[in-house]
Structure 1
Amino acid sequence: MQPLKDAQLGAFTFFASALPHDVCGSNGLPLTPNSIKILGRFQILKTVTHPRLCQYVDISRGKHERLIVVAEHHESSLSDFQKRGNKISPERVLQIAYEVLEGLAFMNKHGMVHRALSVHNVLLDSKGNVKLAKFGLYHMTDHGADVDFPIGYPSYLAPEVIAQGSFHPSDPLHHEAPRPSGPKTDVWSLGVLLFELCAGRRLLHNIDINERLKFILTLGCMDDIVTVLAEEHGCLEHIQELPENVLALLQKCLTFLPSKRPSPAELLGDAVFDGVSCLYTPYQKPVSLFSSSLRCAHLELPEDIGDLCKGDGDDYLSERAINEVYNLWCLAGGDLEKELTNKEIIQSKPPICTLPNFVLEDGESFGQGRDRSFLLDDTTVTLSLCQLRNRLKDVAGESYFPLLEDEQSSLSHSNSANELSATVKLPLIIRERDTEYQLLRVILFDRLLQAYPYKKNRVYKEAKVDIPPLVRGLAWAALLGIEGDIQAKYESLDKDTPIPTDRQIEVDIPRCHQYDELLSSPQGHVKFRRLLKAWVVSHPDLVYWQGLDSLCAPFLYLNFNNEALAYACMSAFIPKYLYNFFLKDNSHVIQEYLTVFSQMIAFHDPELSNHLNEIGFIPDLYAIPWFLTMFTHVFPLHKIFHLWDTLLLGNSSFPLCIGMAILQQLRDRLLANGFNECILLFSDLPEIDIERCVRESINFFFWTPKSATYRQHAQPPKVSGDNGLGKTTTRYSSDDQDFPKTDLSREPLVLLELKAEVSPRISAEDFIDLCEMSYAANNRSKASRPRIIAVDIRSAEDRGHMSGSINVPFSTAFGTDDEVLQCPATGALQNYRGRVVVVIGHAMKSASAFAAHLVKVNFPRVCILDGGINKLKPTGLLTVPSPQI
């Protein structure tokens, strides 16, 4: 996005054509409103950035198919010269023509045509450079098919456009629709515009519109159109005095036949601009974050570095990107409809006055003419930034340039540091609506992302605080480790050839998050289809399962104009959190995942686990859509964004903690209900507090030993090379640290054995780490309680035990047939309720039975040491008590 600088934010509004309510499409669904179609096509305009084009910023959809477009705006335009009656010098005419052609040629490269070129749509910035406005109106309205007004102004329309006549999709002969205008159409409009500048008057302004159109069509019989127009307007003498190159330019632009008329790109290279083109350097689009090119290749510093520090009183806000300024304007209380209403652009009418006709009791009918408000009013209202600037007046200048090497929080750079520090503690939804806070966060993330991947760790650190909505798409990509030329890889994939899954994709897309206007637009459906096909084609060992479309939705929404980045994020997300979930036969993967989840429930909430098992309400009945779609099938997008902000910071086991957090919010209702009531409860999931869900899932993650969620079907570790000690170190994709595979690691279990155990197992290395943490906690403070207690269920005569463990022999609590003789939870173990209880024994069967009984009596945080005491013997950590003398 371009910086705001001396520009302003402007807004204009128009209505899309209304569709009949009783008509459905070929798929049996209601027709997509034209306003949503326009909204979808508009999105690509935000990426069309050029010094000669006004930057599009946003579009909002209101009632009755009203659309409000926000774009860069400048108060000065070429129409000001006409109002003053001034004539422009030939040199200035050539400069204006060249700059307009630069903008038109750039549009044409993106497949767009202006079609609405006129003197009041050619704006001028503070330096007098051309800025083309409303250049996207023809594109976003599907060449005028989605609105009730023509695109363009009769005086400037090319003859071939006038000859086609007016057209609307509701016309009976819709199959005879005219072809869309081409780039040469704008060249004619430019010729008329330049002629007016040279003559100092409007062309065909005082002639009736019908006569005006007839006159333009009769120009086809003329050899010299420029001379005929000059004679018609009484300025022949002045036109003949123009330099040859200017006159030649007018003649080339005002060529009647499109086949002989040059295109903007051809005209740019014409000899008439030999003395002008040398004054301009070709525009180079900035290198994107993820590409094969160096982002610093064209970095230039001023000769005097001190120039960077000048201007302490500068307007730092104007240096920010125009979309950032608009976002802050909205947060500071900006209201588009209110601004347009205050300028009387939007006028409300009583309902009776909006009816096309109405009939009284006596049968007398009253009608009204066409409502002019539904036609185009191209007035642009300037959005005042006074309220925003007043809101940010206390933000220090240093806040706009945070030091990335400073370990302190970016909040310390503001004069209101104490107030903003307090903001961090407020709920996330409040922070996202705080103007000053979002300004600082967006600036910080923008600088960190520019330094990606060098500052990847700092991005991770700041994302733990929160992620500003404005940069969420790029921040997620950084957290997922996206690098390289993603565009080339995406373009290399075949997204057009029919494949067997096309039918299922076509069925799923119209049902996926269609409450969202962007994803429900035809452009959204096209992008959905391309992304899903790209993923299926690039993963031949996997298949398309229902739910993949829901997984795709958040990435598409955040990267609507960058399909390659959406695909790259999706391709990195699935292996990390859903490894092998999309195999053709994924039953063993799903079953292992659900079994681990059941053990998680028993570990954290044994009472709830016992109840759900008693009524037979197992995770298979409700949790598969949760994990297969990472909750995108059950939550709306705005909740998914907040949920995934934290999910992307965790490892592959974090979704299990989210599932636990959801159950905790439904806990009371689940405990009070039976099987049928629970089924109904999950068929229409109640409102879930996402912020509480995130907070509790982090707490569950903190209390869960990392090996307790071990899955043999999770993503295998990645080899990261020699660690310098002659051993190969493996990097687990689910964690951010390297863990070498040792004899103390947890061993995989077959699914039947895993399902037979109620409590999870933990590895010996995990157990040792927890013991060390507990010892450190004791040393820090006498009041600190250790997080772990080891329960040795061997007989008292067995030699060797862990220091600090307690002995509860299995034989004293259970009989020969594993019947309970004495509940172990009522003895010494009761004093350790709340800690992580690790059951250690010789045989895993006895340890599993002991742990299962603890869960049955609602004892929380119970797990089993994988491999039993034998895994600890080689460590040298077991102690033998000295014999008593």
Structure 2
Amino acid sequence: MMAPLRDAGLGAFTFFASALPHDVCGSNGLPLTPNSIKILGRFQILKTIVHPRLCQYVDITRGKHGSPVKILHLAFEALQGLEYLNRHRIVHRALSPHSILLDGEGHVKMAKFGLYYITDHGADVDFPIGYPSYLAPEVIAQGIVKPKDPTQCERPLPSGPKSDVWSLGVIVFELCMGRKLFQSLDISEKLKVILELGCVDDIVTVLAEEHGCVEVIKSLPGNVLTLLRKCLTYHPSKRPTASDLLSDSAFAEISPTYMPYCKPASLFSSALRCADLFLPEDISLLCKDEGEFLAERSIEEVYHLWCLAGGDLEKELISKGIIKSKPPICTLPNLLLEDGESFGRGRDRSSLLDDTTVTLSLCQLRNRLKDVPGEAYYPLLGEDQSNVPHSGSNNELSTSNLPLIIRERDTEYQLNRIVLFDRLLKAYPYKKNLIWKEARVDIPPLLRGLTWAALLGVEGAIQEKYDSTDKDTPIPTDRQIEVDIPRCHQYDELLSSPEGHAKFRRVLKAWVVSHPNLVYWQGLDSLCAPFLYLNFNNEALAYACMSAFIPKYLYNFFLKDNSHVIQEYLTVFSQMIAFHDPELSNHLNEIGFIPDLYAIPWFLTMFTHVFPLHKIFHLWDTLLLGNASFPFCIGVAILQQLRVRLLANGFNECILLFSDLPEIDIERCVRESINLFCWTPKSATYRQHAQSLKQGSDSNGMSRSPASFPTEYQDSTKIDLGRELIKLSELKSEVSPRISAEDLIDLCELTVPSHAKGPTKKTKSSKPKLLVVDIRNSEDFNRGHIPGSINMPFGSAFTADGELVPGPASATLQSFKGKVIVSVGHVSTNAAEFAAHLVKLGYPRVCILDGGMNKMKPTGLLTVPSPQI
């Protein structure tokens, strides 16, 4: 659940990670992961740390170079934030007065609490984490420990959560005294004094005497003094935790005024998302115009839009002098000896921490959105969708016609799409149909992960299921997973981080363990990558999406013996090439360049092995809207983009071409895939090993229930107009795909108004899109044939050279070139051979009627020629 921006602002600060030696490799022989990449991976979890007492982290960019009562309230709120961090196993360690901020209502907002965690407890940077005056004694005693060998797992002993309690105690002490501690001492003296406090019985009194504040201490209320003494307990074992202090008697009077923080239920959860819904007594308060609509949007949305509007973190930090670039010559040592030791150059200050926070101006974003009407922030969700942003104004309508890459970078357009999808997703699953409808236009990148989950039908308590899956016990596939992960989309900074590798490992193991009938095949890691990238902080959702995706598009692909599944899939794909592009199919078959040589990685990974993630996102945005046959159309579309080169090359050249696939225009590929999909009869891609669908579904060409047939032939429930099961060897022998009788009836648009009249065609379109070629002899044809079909007896249809015999029938056939042509006969072998002849002659969209005329006879749709007078 995203918190609204309201009156908060965006701020930024920077630091430099430690550099690694260039000539050192890890135990696996690969270059070491840069510390900056490690930090980037660990940072992602901080984006999920949302609490009223904590400043919220939004993004990280890897650059190329009072009164006692008020004090008690402040301490209590700070402890609330620390306790929440501790529950997420995060220690602040850099707690100081300038990291405790106050919002407009005077409540605590702790900042910079993630620096210690993302730097691996200080191991990945060249500066210490924390400020000497506020560090706990045990932290000072440990000193700064840097790993000597970056290839090893040696790391400094991390500070415990109780170190933050000491730091808070020092801050509260300073607030009570009205002055800073140890101000007159240098750093070494400060550290010495703190370490010597271990010999003191009453640390609070001694510190007060040292700073001349004894009278102030005596005047403090007993509960404040008790709190100070508990926080400033020297030995960590005796010092209470933040959780202990929250229930301490020191806060007995103020703790009832604070409601416990409950994180809102997530979109995919068993908890009610409306459980904490609160409506004011005066409903009109909800309708008042606050003037700043952007302030009601979440900080993640605002930051995303800020970037689209031209915001650049690195430029902002450079303009404020936080990042200072130096000419390369200035970074060289003054003197370099033969053994490599250098002298003369002072320490580069750029590698040290500058914790200045730069406020990022939202003026440019507000300027960009000034003309966006207030209604755009609150779209109504009607079933007719007459007021959706993409069609609600001329401006948005014109934007939606632009290329996708431009739409994704248009600030106003993305604001409209984000607001709309945010509302639709909050209403999921009740608004699932509208999500599908809007996803056909485009999907906003910011909400792509949740939208994909909705399109895949993910529901229920996914976190509980994921947590209950054993991801720790060693399994036989662990070794292969460990080998595959460091090679999977490692150009991406997030997935190449150690945190990314660990998440990869857990999600993949969860899938393997929870699907005991399937096995891990190389390529599963590539399938996991898009889901993990989009749901980096929600492994359960990444796992749930992958678990829903595989049975829909890759059913039984991960069986231990998947050869029969793969072979059937490739055979159907080969038939799809012949169906849509016979010239290309003829050439590839002549040179022996069959799909087995190049297409297995395509379909086994749904193209994630051959395309980078940014292309996969756009490809899958459309793939998820299609059924299991849509990948065939994508494959054909890719081949057609390479068509000119493929037709001009032989076998060896084609092998080289696919070993390093040329650049593919994904937007064009998606557009052509949709066109191919619309021209492909549903049953043409039928596969025996596809997922069994519920009765009434036709997404894979399966038979529908008799109730779904036209009423004219519902009287017999024994009629089966779907595809029949055939052997793989028979399927491989056929160049063209088969279609079911049901598909033929739909494509011919036939109907039977009454038994007194012959079958007629529906009047949907003036130009028929299909031609039925009946290859039986003329006698059989005259006894009964499909309305609108032509008769071309198989034995006399072609000349000795394989050309069509001239005549009225061949002329009609020629006029239908480019439309769907169905070969129909008594014997499937003859129909398949006739179709293969047409493919050889370059006829596209040729298919065979499965079951031949025997399937059509029970329907009562056959007709006979009218008697000539």
Q: CA deviation at 1:408?
A: 3.2
Q: CA deviation at 1:62?
A: 1.5
**Pair 1:367-2:344 in alignment:** yes
**Pair 1:770-2:747 in alignment:** yes
Q: Structure 2 residue aligned with 1:822, among 797, 805, 821?
A: 805
Q: CA deviation at 1:112?
A: 0.8
AA of the residue aligned to 1:343 = K
Q: In structure 1, how many angstroms separate the alpha carbons of the residues matched to 2:704 and 2:377?
A: 37
| Pair 1:781–1:9, CA change in 2 (3 A) | same
Residue number in structure 1 paired with 2:862: 878
Q: In structure 2, how many angstroms separate the alpha carbons of the residues matched to 1:360 and 1:161?
A: 38
| Pair 1:829–1:768, CA change in 2 (3 A) | same
- Secondary structure of the residue that 2:234 maps to in structure 1? coil
CA contact (8 A) 1:716 1:732 kept: no
Q: Structure 2 residue aligned with 1:572, among 536, 540, 548?
A: 548
Residue number in structure 2 paired with 1:47: 48
252-261 or 795-804, larger mean C-alpha shift:
795-804
Deviation string for 1:709-761 (max 9, x for gaps)?
0000100123xxxxxxxxxx444676999756951111011011001111111
Residue number in structure 2 paired with 1:843: 827
Q: In structure 2, how many angstroms separate the alpha carbons of the residues matched to 1:169 and 1:365?
A: 22
Q: CA deviation at 1:805?
A: 1.4
Q: In structure 2, how many angstroms separate the alpha carbons of the residues matched to 1:158 and 1:675?
A: 71
Q: In structure 2, how many angstroms separate the alpha carbons of the residues matched to 1:291 and 1:578?
A: 26
Residue number in structure 2 paired with 1:664: 640
Residue number in structure 2 paired with 1:723: none
Q: CA deviation at 1:881?
A: 2.0
Q: In structure 2, how many angstroms separate the alpha carbons of the residues matched to 1:836 and 1:173?
A: 62
Q: Structure 2 residue aligned with 1:405, among 382, 407, 410?
A: 382
Residue number in structure 1 paired with 2:771: 789
Deviation string for 1:414-454 (max 9, x for gaps)?
99x21211010101000000000000101111110100000
Residue number in structure 1 paired with 2:415: 439
AA of the residue aligned to 2:772 = A
| Pair 1:406–1:599, CA change in 2 (3 A) | closer
Q: Structure 1 residue aligned with 2:327, among 310, 328, 350?
A: 350
Equivalent positions of 1:286-305 (< 5 A) are 286-305=264-283
Q: Structure 2 residue aligned with 1:632, among 599, 608, 633?
A: 608
Q: CA deviation at 1:206?
A: 2.2
AA of the residue aligned to 1:860 = P
Residue number in structure 2 paired with 1:812: 796
- Secondary structure of the residue that 2:773 maps to in structure 1? strand
**Pair 1:383-2:374 in alignment:** no
Q: In structure 2, how many angstroms separate the alpha carbons of the residues matched to 1:735 and 1:280?
A: 60
User: Which aligned segments of 4 or more residues in structure 1 are displaced greater than 6 angstroms?
Assistant: 171-176, 735-738, 773-778, 817-821
Q: Structure 1 residue aligned with 2:527, among 539, 543, 551?
A: 551
Q: In structure 2, how many angstroms separate the alpha carbons of the residues matched to 1:637 and 1:438?
A: 20
Q: Structure 2 residue aligned with 1:493, among 469, 490, 495?
A: 469
Q: In structure 1, how many angstroms separate the alpha carbons of the residues matched to 2:564 and 2:480?
A: 24
Q: CA deviation at 1:230?
A: 1.1
| Pair 1:736–1:856, CA change in 2 (3 A) | closer
CA contact (8 A) 2:101 2:110 kept: yes
Q: CA RMSD in A?
A: 2.3
| Pair 1:35–1:683, CA change in 2 (3 A) | same
322-331 or 533-542, larger mean C-alpha shift:
533-542
**Pair 1:11-2:27 in alignment:** no
Structure 2: stretches of 5+ with no match in the other structure: 709-718, 752-758
Q: CA deviation at 1:809?
A: 1.8
Q: CA deviation at 1:2?
A: 2.0
**Pair 1:649-2:633 in alignment:** no
CA contact (8 A) 1:159 1:217 kept: yes
CA contact (8 A) 1:291 1:487 kept: yes
Q: In structure 2, how many angstroms separate the alpha carbons of the residues matched to 1:602 and 1:682?
A: 20
Residue number in structure 1 paired with 2:284: 306
Equivalent positions of 1:206-605 (< 5 A) are 206-311=184-289, 313-358=290-335, 367-405=344-382, 407-408=384-385, 410-412=387-389, 417-605=393-581
Q: CA deviation at 1:178?
A: 4.5
| Pair 1:631–1:820, CA change in 2 (3 A) | same
Q: CA deviation at 1:840?
A: 1.1
Equivalent positions of 1:167-206 (< 5 A) are 167-170=145-148, 178-206=156-184
AA of the residue aligned to 1:796 = S
CA contact (8 A) 1:105 1:264 kept: yes
Residue number in structure 1 paired with 2:131: 153
Q: In structure 2, how many angstroms separate the alpha carbons of the residues matched to 1:288 and 1:174?
A: 38
Q: In structure 2, how many angstroms separate the alpha carbons of the residues matched to 1:682 and 1:698?
A: 24
Give the share of equivalent positions with the same residue, in percent. Answer: 75
Q: CA deviation at 1:813?
A: 1.5
Q: CA deviation at 1:359?
A: 5.0
AA of the residue aligned to 1:202 = K
CA contact (8 A) 1:115 1:186 kept: yes
Q: In structure 1, how many angstroms separate the alpha carbons of the residues matched to 2:46 and 2:31?
A: 27
CA contact (8 A) 2:424 2:431 kept: yes
CA contact (8 A) 1:777 1:786 kept: no
| Pair 1:340–1:573, CA change in 2 (3 A) | same
Q: CA deviation at 1:569?
A: 0.6
Q: In structure 2, how many angstroms separate the alpha carbons of the residues matched to 1:853 and 1:6?
A: 72
Equivalent positions of 1:70-85 (< 5 A) are none
CA contact (8 A) 1:479 1:648 kept: yes
CA contact (8 A) 2:390 2:397 kept: no
Q: CA deviation at 1:558?
A: 0.6
CA contact (8 A) 1:778 1:786 kept: no
Deviation string for 1:234-284 (max 9, x for gaps)?
121112111111111111111111111111000010000011101100001
Q: CA deviation at 1:202?
A: 1.0
24-33 or 302-311, larger mean C-alpha shift:
302-311
CA contact (8 A) 2:578 2:736 kept: yes
Residue number in structure 1 paired with 2:816: 832
CA contact (8 A) 1:395 1:414 kept: no
Q: In structure 2, how many angstroms separate the alpha carbons of the residues matched to 1:123 and 1:193?
A: 13
CA contact (8 A) 2:571 2:732 kept: yes
CA contact (8 A) 2:389 2:417 kept: no
292-301 or 145-154, larger mean C-alpha shift:
292-301
Residue number in structure 2 paired with 1:802: 786
CA contact (8 A) 2:523 2:605 kept: yes
Q: CA deviation at 1:350?
A: 1.4
- Count residues in correspondence: 846
| Pair 1:838–1:564, CA change in 2 (3 A) | same
AA of the residue aligned to 1:772 = E
CA contact (8 A) 2:721 2:855 kept: yes
Q: In structure 2, how many angstroms separate the alpha carbons of the residues matched to 1:487 and 1:680?
A: 45
| Pair 1:225–1:386, CA change in 2 (3 A) | same
Q: CA deviation at 1:835?
A: 1.0
CA contact (8 A) 1:519 1:525 kept: yes
- Secondary structure of the residue that 2:4 maps to in structure 1? coil
CA contact (8 A) 1:168 1:174 kept: no
CA contact (8 A) 1:289 1:450 kept: yes
Q: CA deviation at 1:819?
A: 7.0
Residue number in structure 1 paired with 2:732: 755
CA contact (8 A) 2:748 2:761 kept: no
